[in-house]
Amino acid sequence: MSSSTAPAPPAPDEPPAGSVSGLQAFYERAGGFLVPIAAAFLAFLIGGIVVLITEKSISAPFEAYKAIFEGTGLTWFIPGGDTLEEARDLQQTLLITTPLILTGLAVAFAFRCGMFNIGGQGQYWVGLLVGIWFGTHFDGTPPVLHVTLTIIAGLLAGAVWGGIAGLLKATVGAHEVISTIMLNWIAIWVGKWLLEAPDGFLQGSDPTLPRADNVLDSAKLPAIWGALQPLHAGIFIALFALLVYHVLLNRTTLGYEVRAVGFNPDAAAYGGISVRRNYFLALAIAGAFAGLAGVIDLVGWKYRLTSTEFDANFYGFTGIAVALLGRNKALGILFAALLFGALQVGTSPRQLDPEVFNPELATNLATMIQALIIAFVGAEFLILYLWRARRRVGYRPRRIRVEGA
């Protein structure tokens, strides 16, 4: 760039289109959380319009959102009302928020190293499956030790699953998007086989059911709030993981390397950083977060796994939305996970009065809003591009006027 660049006009400085590192650099520069908030708001607005059309009533969207909001238990923070009911709902919201924080971190950490980890779902399952084995064995181990051991095993299993994709990228250059997606399916089908096949390895004591036994009591996390399906101590682990994520990235040499590779692999290599090693490590650490999500769900409240759940549980995928909306920042991920967790609980049919709006619409609305948020966050490029284009019009009016006389 040896042109005599005058003070750069705010014109086109788009990052290399399509590259993850370019996207990250763009996020860093765009700064602020205005866009994610706008994206969420827009998604709710469109969701409301859909409710309006299907229910053919002006007040329907407001009633629906009110019902959803009340269903999330977030009203617990507002004095008054049925505190017991609200508390129960809030416990459920936080119960879902816990794995979402961790799967969000799994996507975010890889993202900071310039990679798109679509494998959170598979890493979640592998953590959970390995957790089953550890949780149902070692009877007689002291409780604290057993649950710690189980959680660490699940975490490491996730790390291995993510690490495979990392190793493939580092050695033969296999693109992580492809390999993590394939590893998802491997995890799901191996999991089904382990639970369903006659005498499946993880199948429980009833050979007619495709499910594992409950983990032993000594492998369960303690409940901290509530009675029926209570909130468990796993939320502290998730919050701690957020802290670890932040500190790891910003206060360690490993995080420095990961960020350098994520922003600019060429400069990182020039700085003496092994780009391949960081690809591997970043995906392994990302996998560890997702594996942790799986095993904590297991020892926190699921206790066992039925093979039908493979088709119904998408915490790993929702993690992508969490990371995108949370802009790969610890605090952002916390709030994004809470939003998606609340949305899921608030729209679950059992929370809603069918008089207000029908249960099918309720669950579908949650999925729709989630998808819209992802679409809008993904469309940030577009939104900001249009924004800048609007400003640029000042410099480049389209009309041509040649005034002569």
Contact flags string 359-398 toward another protein, x per CB under 8 A: -----------------------------------xxxxx
Residue 267 or 331 with smaller CB distance to another protein: 267
Query: What letter represents residue 189's amino acid?
Result: W
Minimum Å gap between C-beta 248 and another protein is: 10
Sign, CA dihedral 64-69-70-71, equals positive
Please name the amino acid found at residue 295. Answer: V
The answer to the question of residue 3 lying near another protein (CB under 8 A) is: yes
Q: Which of 83, 175, 217, 251: binder of another protein (CB under 8 A)? A: 251
Q: Is 66 in the site for another protein (CB under 8 A)?
A: no
3-state class (DSSP) for residue 147? helix
Q: Are 196 and 265 in contact (CB under 8 A)?
A: no
Among residues 47, 99, 104, 255, the one that binds another protein under rule CB under 8 A: 255
Does residue 153 sit in helix, strand or coil? Answer: helix
Nearer to another protein by Cβ, of 92 and 278: the residue is: 278
DSSP string, 338-396: HHHHHHHHHTSGGGS-TTTS-HHHHHHHHHHHHHHHHHHHHTHHHHHHHHHHHHHTTT-
The verdict on 266 binding another protein (CB under 8 A) reads yes
Binders of another protein among 19-58, rule CB under 8 A? 24-25, 28-29
The backbone torsions φ and ψ at residue 330, rounded to the nearest 5 degrees and listed phi first, read -55, -50
Size of the site for another protein (CB under 8 A): 46
Q: Which of 59, 83, 252, 367 binds another protein (CB under 8 A)?
A: 252
Interaction between residue 244 and another protein (CB under 8 A)? no
Min dist CB 113 to another protein, Å, is: 13
Beta-bridge mates of residue 231: 225
The answer to the question of residue 402 lying near another protein (CB under 8 A) is yes
**Strand-pair category, 231-232 with 223-225:** antiparallel
Pairwise CA distance, residues 102 & 296, whole Å: 10
CA proximity to 285, closest of 183, 152, 163: 163
Beta-bridge partner residues of 35: none
Segment lying near another protein (by CB under 8 A), choices 66-74, 114-122, 196-204, 267-275: 267-275
- Unique residue bearing structure tokens 């009065």: 353
Tokens 């969490």, located at residue: 322
CA atoms within 13 A on the CB side of 89: 28
Residue 158 CB, shortest distance to another protein, in Å, is 22
Does position 400 bind another protein by CB under 8 A?
Answer: yes
Task: Write the interaction track for another protein spanning residues 191-230; mark x where CB under 8 A is met and - where it is not.
Answer: ----------------------------------------
Chain positions 301 to 320 lying near another protein, rule: CB under 8 A, are: none
Find the part of the chain contacting another protein (CB under 8 A) among 42-50, 62-70, 262-270, 345-353.
262-270
Give me the residues that bind another protein (CB under 8 A), please. 1-10, 24-25, 28-29, 250-256, 259-260, 263-264, 266-274, 394-405
